[in-house]
Chains A and B, each alone.
Chain A
Amino acid sequence: MFLAAIEDVQVRHGLETLYHLYHKELWYVANDILKDEHEAQDVVQTAFIRVAKYIDQDFDPKCNKSRALIVIIVRNLAFDAYRKRQRQSTVVFDEVIHGADSQTYEPAEIRMIRLDNRHWVAEQLAELKSGYGDILTLKYVYDYSDQEIASLLEISEGNVRTRLSRARKALKKVIGGETLEAEC
């Protein structure tokens, strides 16, 4: 009982520290995308509500991984809010911005995976769509399940699977291009 109480206090302090350390950059990220203070505030608030469910006693708000996590959540929520705003008069954001995904797209053959260019690959992936790197990160770095990612980003599990599939294809495209380019 008392251990549980201590854990609760740690979780609360984790949230408070997270806010204290990063609220400015979270606000910046959201407002930079949305250009709307009210919407940006809503997004930051939602991110904290969402992330609070996944904070446990092992959570260290000061580590870079925690910082990146809350930034990724805010950024994705902000993009979704932006997309909803645009949806009434435009076609889907994914297709407008990058045209990266296509159901008929076949990734280039992956002949070699190099680790020394991983930051470049991540940049290229983000160039295609920033959400691709985010969704892969949530899945494979933070080890969240599809259900947990859906909860964090306020999207359906089906949407999570779709985004993951697109991100994997896009990554294979990046790797394939790099590999072919290196061979020339």
Chain B
Amino acid sequence: MKQNAEEQVMEAYYRVVGEAHVDNVLRQLDAAEEVIEGQKVPETLHEWFDGFIKGVKKAQGRQERRQLSKQFMARASVILAIFIAIAGILTVSVEAIRIRVFNMLLETQEQFTEIQFENGSEDLGEASDGTFSSWEDIEVVSGNFYPTYVPEGYIIEDYEVHDMFMHIVYTNGKDRSLIFGQSSMSTSIQIDTEDAQVSHPMIDGVQGIMAEEDGGVILVWHNNLFSYTLTGEISTEEALRMAESIEEQ
């Protein structure tokens, strides 16, 4: 007990001396202020720091996008399930060749819904087993689609292609990003269905789903070949205009 008390006293004293040490260090620096101000720091140090900060920004941007994509996928997938259900109903009476392009399997769990799609159509017959196994397969069926319109000030910052999902990241060069995604409708998705305020805008004659939350917009739609997603802090009007502008490249 005595030893413990002594240790505590000494630790407190180390702190007191440490704080005094900080005072001394700063006093010495202040005393040398004139000399320090007269120092000529190499330009290469400034150049290094500029590059260092750019690297930090880039790393943080990547981190933010990962988080954005993660949340986006969770939200969008919820809405996607609803969307596919609606699309299935509509296509029965409209376009024979597109009817039941996908058979949708829904499995609702306590906290999420899992959606799987079985490709039952012949118009996408190049995938012999009825499903796309990779992005390359998708590209055989059709080319990639990109928005031909993006809100003013946004430029492409990044582009990624995963096995079953592609996304393009746009940035306004400041603090906002937009993510446009194109994915196979054979993707299996698990989603949390809470908190999304959903509307059903028409995009090129097909009903889509738009969710608004915390000033951000998530838009999900399709063109019978792929599903598309758009997420970011933009107005619903801008999001719809961007969605309607997609063209095959």
Contacts and interface: CB of A to CB of B under 8 A. Distances in A.
B15 A113 contact: no
A44 B39 CA distance: 15
Interface in A114-157: 115, 118-119, 121-123, 125-126, 133-134, 136-137, 139-141
A44 B48 CA distance: 10
B69 to A, nearest CB: 11
Contact of B52 (A48, A65, A123, A140): A48
A61 B52 CA distance: 17
Interface in B1-53: 9-11, 13-26, 29, 32, 35-37, 39, 41-42, 44-46, 48-49, 52-53
B29 A71 contact: yes
Most chain A CB within 10 A, of B18, B22, B26, B64, is at B18
A171 B17 contact: yes
Contacts of B21: 122, 125-126, 133-134, 136-137, 141
Contacts of B25: 68, 71-72, 133
A92 interface: no
| Majority-rule SS of A interface residues | helix
Contacts of A64: 22, 26
Contacts of A8: 60, 63-64
Nearest to A164: B14
A25 B36 contact: yes
Contact of B36 (A2, A24, A119): A24
Contacts of A134: 21
Interface stretch (A15-23, A81-89, A97-105): A15-23
Contacts of B237: none
A68 B22 contact: yes
Contact of A65 (B22, B48, B57, B214): B22
A93 interface: no
A52 B56 contact: yes
A171 B56 contact: no
| SS class, residues of chain B in contact with chain A | helix
A68 B27 CA distance: 10
B20 A41 contact: no
A19 to B, nearest CB: 5
Contact of B20 (A2, A16, A67, A122): A122
A27 interface: yes
A15 B13 contact: no
Contact of B16 (A5, A31, A68, A118): A118
Nearest to A65: B22
B68 interface: yes
A118 B17 contact: yes
A123 B24 contact: yes
The 4 closest A-B pairs by CB, nearest first: A133-B21, A137-B18, A141-B18, A118-B20
13 contacts: A4-B64, A12-B53, A23-B49, A24-B41, A27-B41, A28-B32, A71-B25, A118-B16, A118-B20, A121-B17, A125-B17, A125-B21, A137-B21
